[in-house]
Structure 1
Amino acid sequence: MTNATPAYDRARLFWLSVLALFTAAASLALRGAIASSLKAEWIDPVAPLQAGQLIAGALGAAFLGFAITLLVTSALLDQIGMRRMLLGSGSCFVAGTLAIVLAGTVTSGSGIYAVVWGGMLLSGIGWGLAEASINPLTAQLYPQDATHRLNVLHAWFPGGIIIGGLTGFFLSEILPWQGIMALVIAPALAVIAIAATTRFPPPLNATTGVSFGAMLSEVFRRPSFFIWFAAMFLTAASELAPGQWIDVALTNRVGMRGILLLVYVNALMFVFRHFAGRLANRISNPGLLWLSSLLAMAGLFMLSRAQSPAAAIAASTVWGLGVCVMWPTMIASVAERYPRGGGWAMGLLGSAGALSSYIVLPYLGTMYDEAKIEFAGGPEAFARLTGAARLAVEDAAASLSFVRLAVLPAVLLAVFGLIVLRERGKTRAQLAGEAG
């Protein structure tokens, strides 16, 4: 007699996935929360004119590690194994966090920046290992309900940002920024402990019968996949880059800590992602993504104009509702449309999202530095500015950065609009064929 009960605990595996994603999100939030303090203590004294570019480059290093890791390891998921990848994820978060917080004790001057950059990169590798394993694991655990379950899983990404952001805010008067950043180590160690003691399902190719070659063929022989790949580049840039930049760019201008706006936006995400899968079933994934792009575009433009806490909250609400379902709905769309692509198709899409943030964040920093110097009347004039005059110039530069970001979801409106029209046309043709 065959026992049909799985030899693994589906709920335990799902919550391990939640914890791994929570760790990545908390690390992301705390990196954003301490960015201003890190910049003031270690970068401004060494390179004041390039400080924006350098801190954005350091923050972007995490996305570079995320992108490369996700691209490579998602293709080798069955060979490496989900357990090893989650163990590696936790280990990288521990090592990367230690590098960031201890940089000032192991080196000095410009060498500190190199160690911080390396710590950010290691943290991004940990994030990539987590993402490469938990998305296909969730799709494997819940094959009939992938969109809903992936949205519920990814609700804990904003959940981690909420807890990490509030922790960074409330402990800023008690702990140095290094102590706040070090808090990431606790959930990372929990991921290691749970992954080491949990039974995992068999590799995907053992259960689906899809070979590695067939998985690659699913992607490369269907050019439509690369439309989704390009769209992921823009959706992630619309969500993740502003999220990392918001504390640096808005804190002075609107009269409240930007990290609190990020926490508020992610609270919206946490709630809404629990219902997004059901909404997508009503209006389709591309339809939901079109609506999201419209709200994201409007929200980013509103952020560029916000001058008060109330205006910033209103703008953040519109932007947050726009971007909150983009990442998981994009992953679910690819999982449904390219099922034989397996974990690699999902990983390839995620790597596009991470790579976009790596490219866009330094661009934001460079644009911000160039704008503040231009508005001040030149490098020497900016160097002479102090107090309110300097803040006014930096605020104008920050406003410009959000205006230019709003172009990205505007492009997505056209992309998803065309996908919606194409899929509706195919549906009508199929119905007409069946009627005939």
Structure 2
Amino acid sequence: MAKAIQPSKLFVASCMALLVTSLSFGIRAGILGDLGKQFDLSASQLGIIASTAFWGFPLAVVIGGFVVDIIGMKRLLLAAFVLHLAGILLTIFATGFSTLFVSTLFIGMANGTVEAACNPLVATIYPNNKTTKLNHFHLWFPGGIVVGALVVFFLSGMGLNYKVQMATMIIPTLLYGYLFLKLDFPVTERVASGISNAQMYRSIGSPLFIVIFVLMFGTAITELFTGQWIEVLLKNVTENAILILAMTAGVQTLGRAFAGPIVHRMSPTGVLLISAVLSAVGLYMLAHVSGNMVFLAAFIFGMGVTYFWPCMIGFVSENIPESGALGMNLVGGAGMFAVSIYTIFMGGFYDSILAKQLPAGASLDAYRTAAAGTEEAAAFAKAQAVAGPEILNVTLVIPVVLIFAFTGLYFYMRNRKKPDIAIA
């Protein structure tokens, strides 16, 4: 069986699955407005639909972490394929809020299942180059967001509706499903190494794992919350907010493609420390500069968040290998869950800042929906220009705290003997 394992083909199929995951984020973000018009949905209903993917993801990734060693990575990825295909088709043939809610839930769970299986798969088939290959794998997430945004932009410009845009995901979905169905899979690294369940559970209760688990809250929020909200936060600061998002995702894609020399030269903890510094500098600049300097700020911020997610997952796999797939997936699930909670909290905070900038007793909804060119619309735009940078200033606290945390972790890891697990 071992001779039948084809790491390169498994890796390509994993990247294709992650591409579908990221396309779902980019395309769904671009078609939400069209869905609202098509089915007469309120902003509240659209918010519920959009947020469903974010809690469906951690739900699936955590459950997958518990069962992947039992049922195997192949069955888990075939389940992801079924969920992706069902979610796409339900969106295309949606009849209203309920079907859109279920379709987004399916896609969110599919996305989490891909992470739950592919992270341990990549670590298993590349045991001596885990962090670098995880960076190569995860470059398909920002890369797919760029592709998804471009798909929406060009197809919308051609007058093609959301059904056609969603349908573009069917081909890569069928492709990765076919590849995974035909390929043989190894057992997970933990199973191959003979690590018992008791050892696994002890490892996820270790101080080092708990520290990484908590730090993942900060790295995920810094990367995903800011990226998700960048257009909202800066659209009244610059006319090209969507290009800032594209630039950030593009920088992440290129940075992860060339991760090997950087990770090998500096170690994952060194990379994480520098990432925190660049993220803090980039966020500060985004909140305080204007004009073309915003693009420089976006470039610096993009470099900062490039290695957060894959290096955090890689750190767990390399330094707490007894935790196995469960450890990687608990950390990934923690990050996405933190983003969902922080997004809800900051959404309310954003509205409160807007309210303070408007006349006393003003209706926020009335100003938000005011016709262009009116005094109310101008006042609301001015309030947004204040609220966006203020949210970034508050979020800036997180990477600043990460700088101190990763500094301590860097010096701790220099004096810690790295565990060694041989693959049978």
TM-score > 0.5, shorter chain as reference: yes
Q: How far off is 1:138 after superposition?
A: 0.8
Provide the rounded CA distance (Å) in 2 between the counterparts of 1:98 and 1:379. 43
CA distance 1:373–1:398, shift in 2 (3 Å): same
1:260-409 equivalences under 5 Å are 260-308=243-291, 310-377=292-359, 378-380=361-363, 383-384=366-367, 385-387=370-372, 388-389=377-378, 390-409=380-399
Q: CA–CA distance in 1 between the matches of 2:93 and 2:345?
A: 28
Q: Within 5 Å, give how 1:50-69 maps onto structure 2.
A: 55-69=46-60
Matching residue within 66, 81, 105 for 1:75: 66
- Alignment pair present for 1:185 and 2:149: no
Name the residue aligned to 2:84: 93
2:42 maps to what in 1? 46
Asked if the contact 1:56–1:365 (Cα under 8 Å) also holds between the matched residues in 2, the reply is no
Contact 2:123 2:189 in 1 (8 A): no
Percent identity reads 31
For residue 18 of structure 1, the aligned residue among 15, 19, 42 is 15
Partner amino acid, structure 1, of 2:84: F
What are the Cα deviations for residues 149-182 of structure 1, in whole angstroms up to 9, with x where unaligned? 1111111222212211221222221223443234
> 1:98: Cα distance to partner?
3.6
Residues 1:34 and 2:25 aligned together: no
2:106 corresponding residue in structure 1: 122
Q: How big is the shift at 1:205?
A: 4.7
- C-alpha separation in 2, matches of 1:40 and 1:261: 27
2:36, 2:42 within 8 Å by CA — same for their partners in 1? no
The answer (yes or no) to whether the contact 2:215–2:402 under 8 Å persists in 1 is yes
**In structure 2, how many angstroms separate the alpha carbons of the residues matched to 1:355 and 1:14?**
26
Q: 1:350 to 1:176 in 2, by over 3 A?
A: same
116 and 5 in structure 1: CA distance in 2 versus 1, 3 angstrom threshold: closer
Q: Which residue of 2 aligns with 1:430?
A: none
1:172-206 residue CA offsets vs partner (Å, 9 max, x unmatched): 21223443234223322222222112211234454
Distance apart, 1:372 and its partner CA: 2.0
In the TM superposition, what is the alpha-carbon distance from 1:14 to its structure 2 partner? 0.7
How far, CA to CA, are the matches of 2:233 and 2:221 in structure 1? Answer: 16
User: Which of 384, 390, 406 in structure 2 is aligned with 1:416?
Assistant: 406
Find the residue that maps to 2:156 and give its secondary structure.
coil
How far 1:12 moved relative to its partner?
Answer: 0.7
| In structure 1, C-alpha distance between the alignment counterparts of 2:47 and 2:298, rounded to whole Å | 21
Letter in 2 for 1:13: L
Task: State the alpha-carbon separation in 1 of the partners of residues 409 and 168 from structure 2.
Answer: 43
Q: Which runs of 5+ in 2 are unaligned?
A: 418-424
| Aligned-partner Cα distance in 1 for 2:133–2:55 | 27
Tell me which moved more, 161-170 or 245-254. 245-254
Contact 1:57–1:361 under 8 Å retained in 2: no
Q: Is the 8 A contact 2:284 2:396 kept in 1?
A: yes
Distance 2:236 2:39 in 1: 20
| Aligned length in residues | 408
Q: TM-score, normalised by structure 2?
A: 0.88
Is residue 199 from structure 1 mapped to residue 181 from structure 2 by the alignment?
no
Q: Which residue of 2 aligns with 1:213?
A: 198
Amino acid paired to 1:341: S
Deviation at 1:307, TM superposition (A): 4.0
Write the distance in 2 (CA, Å) between the matches of 1:198 and 1:239: 33
Unaligned 5+ runs, structure 1: 428-436
Query: Per the alignment, do residues 102 and 253 of structure 1 end up closer, same or farther by CA in structure 2, a change over 3 Å counting?
Result: farther
Query: How much does 1:312 deviate?
Result: 2.9
What's the secondary structure of 2:4's corresponding residue?
coil
Match of 1:84 in 2: 75
* 8 Å CA contact retained: 1:56, 1:362: no
Match of 2:120 among 123, 132, 136: 136
Amino acid at match of 2:315: S
> For residues 242 and 35 of structure 1, do their structure 2 counterparts lie closer, same or farther at Cα, with a shift above 3 Å needed?
farther
1:39 Cα offset (Å): 5.8
Query: Residue 340 of structure 1: CA displacement?
Result: 1.2
Structure 1: how far apart are the matches of 2:36 and 2:171?
25
| Conserved 8 A contact 2:140-2:253 | yes
Change (3 A) 1:424 1:326: same
Cα gap change, 1:255/1:15 in structure 2, threshold over 3 Å: closer, same or farther?
same
CA distance in 1, matches of 2:382, 2:92: 31
Return the offset for 1:318: 1.1
Deviation at 1:18, TM superposition (A): 0.6
Q: Is the 8 A contact 1:36 1:248 kept in 2?
A: no
1:398 Cα deviation after fit: 2.3
The alpha-carbon deviation at position 9 of structure 1 amounts to 1.4
1:432 paired residue number:
none
Give the TM-score, by structure 1 length.
0.86
| Residues 96 and 119 in structure 1, CA contact (< 8 A), matched pair in contact too | yes
In structure 2, the residue matched to 1:237 is: 221
Question: Which residue in the other structure is 2:421 paired with?
Answer: none
CA distance in 2, matches of 1:345, 1:138: 14
The answer to whether the 8 A contact 1:69-1:129 is kept is yes
- Aligned residue for 1:353, secondary structure, equals helix
Which whole-Å deviations, capped at 9, do the CAs of 1:240-283 have from their partners, x for residues lacking one? 1122222333345311252x322221221111112323222222
Contact between 2:55 and 2:108, CA under 8 Å: does it hold in 1? yes
* Aligned partners of 2:190 and 2:321 also within 8 Å: no
